[in-house]
Amino acid sequence: MKTLNAAVIGCGSIARFHFPALEKAGVRVAWVCDLNAEAARPWAEKCGARVTTDFRDALADPALDLVDVTAIAPVHKPVCLAAIAAGKAVICEKTLAENAEDAWQIVSAARERGVVFYTSYMKRFIPAVAKARELLPQLGRILTTHIRAHQCWGDLWTENPASGHAHTPPGGRSGIAVKYAGGILPCGGSHILDLVLFLLGRPTRLHAVVHTPPGRDYDLLAAALMETPNGVVHFEALTHALRRIGAWRDGWDERFEITGVHGRLELYSPLWDRPDTHAAYLVHYDNRTAQAVEYRFAPVSPFERAVAFFCGNIARGQQGEQSPLTGYEVDELIEQFRRSAGLGRSVEIPWRDAPATPS
């Protein structure tokens, strides 16, 4: 299998997981790009790569095979479209775009150009999640799922912070909204929506509540009831200031519970940036034997597992199991959450493609 040449576009906090993942996957990082050349230079020196502040320099390299987009969400569309037009395979961090229309344009361009394209929702690569998917048939008919992400962001409910990335200035935008095009829904909820798609399939209808405090431009709560081909889903993403809740008593409370006619799966996931020290665990209760089995896994980086999967398929020139529509599907759900909340009623989800089986 050939050695891939990659360009990493964006050297913010999430990039620190992608560089070692690319190295472990046997990929050569040939270009490192960031508007701040000083942020790019240490990574470039480590990888023996060229530095640029203009991603088009990397795209002009005929030896380049892959573009890994780790920049903030608002720049994903122009970077992805330019990479696709240049015939490069793409791995793009979540969320794919700022809205469903932009996400659809990106994935449509990738399909028309025939390039391999991934949105990197790495939580589907957590070993406990993969095991849960394997065990799903043992539940029989799935009746209901409770799935949530409660994240400790400090007390943002009392008042608008006076400074920092959570401060929304009068007539301006907060750092949260600039980077993520919203609050808890795109930041943490998007991963959970991807798990709904991965495990249960595309929802057909939802009724959502999204709370954005007065004077703020980002949401602190997003909850919904969703109808899927595999039962009803109770979804919630929440910011809070409770420092000692959750399975690890560290303020992070992310879990799902899937109940079927023959049993139940319960998964507890740790803080996202501790993959080398904490591992999600899974409990499977089988009603036919009246026994519960707990699955514990060694800590492993889901970023590394995801990138290895992506790059292996890119080297083979194939899309593989994960659909190129993954990022669009999540962005469509986010948009329908906001639409439903604004209308105050349930909405049918207007998928722009034929219904897909869980990818």
For residue 354, the model assigns a pLDDT of: 56
Q: What are the start and end residues of each CATH 3.40.50.720 domain in the chain?
A: 5-121
Q: In angstroms, what is the C-alpha Rg of the chain?
A: 20
Tell me the two tokens of residue 159: 């008042």
Give me the CATH topology for the region 124-304+332-348. Answer: Dihydrodipicolinate Reductase; domain 2 (3.30.360)
Q: How many whole angstroms separate alpha carbon 180 and alpha carbon 97?
A: 9
pLDDT the model gives residue 277: 86
State the pLDDT at residue 275: 74
Q: Looking up tokens 């959570």, which residue turns up?
A: 166
- Which backbone phi and psi does 129 adopt, to 5 degrees? -70, -45
Q: Name the percent of the chain in helix, strand, coil, to the closest 5.
A: 35, 25, 40
In which residue ranges of the chain is pLDDT below 50? 355-359
Looking only at the bridges linking them, the beta strands covering 253-260 and 117-120 are unpaired
* Prediction pTM value: 0.96
Report the half-sphere exposure of 211 (CA within 13 A, side-chain side). 11
Tokens representing residue 178 in the block: 């600039």
Side-by-side strand order, sheet with 50-52 = 50-52, 28-33, 5-9, 66-69, 89-93, 117-120
Instruction: Give the span between the Cα atoms of 135 and 18, in whole angstroms.
Output: 29
Residue intervals of the chain classified under CATH 3.30.360.10 are: 124-304+332-348
What size, in residues, is the chain? 359
Answer yes or no: are the C-beta atoms of 253 and 274 closer than 8 Å.
no
Amino acid at 261: V
Domain 5-121 class in CATH: alpha beta
Instruction: Count Cβ atoms within 10 A of the Cβ of residue 304 and give its class: 0-12 exposed, 13-18 middle, 19 or more buried.
Output: buried
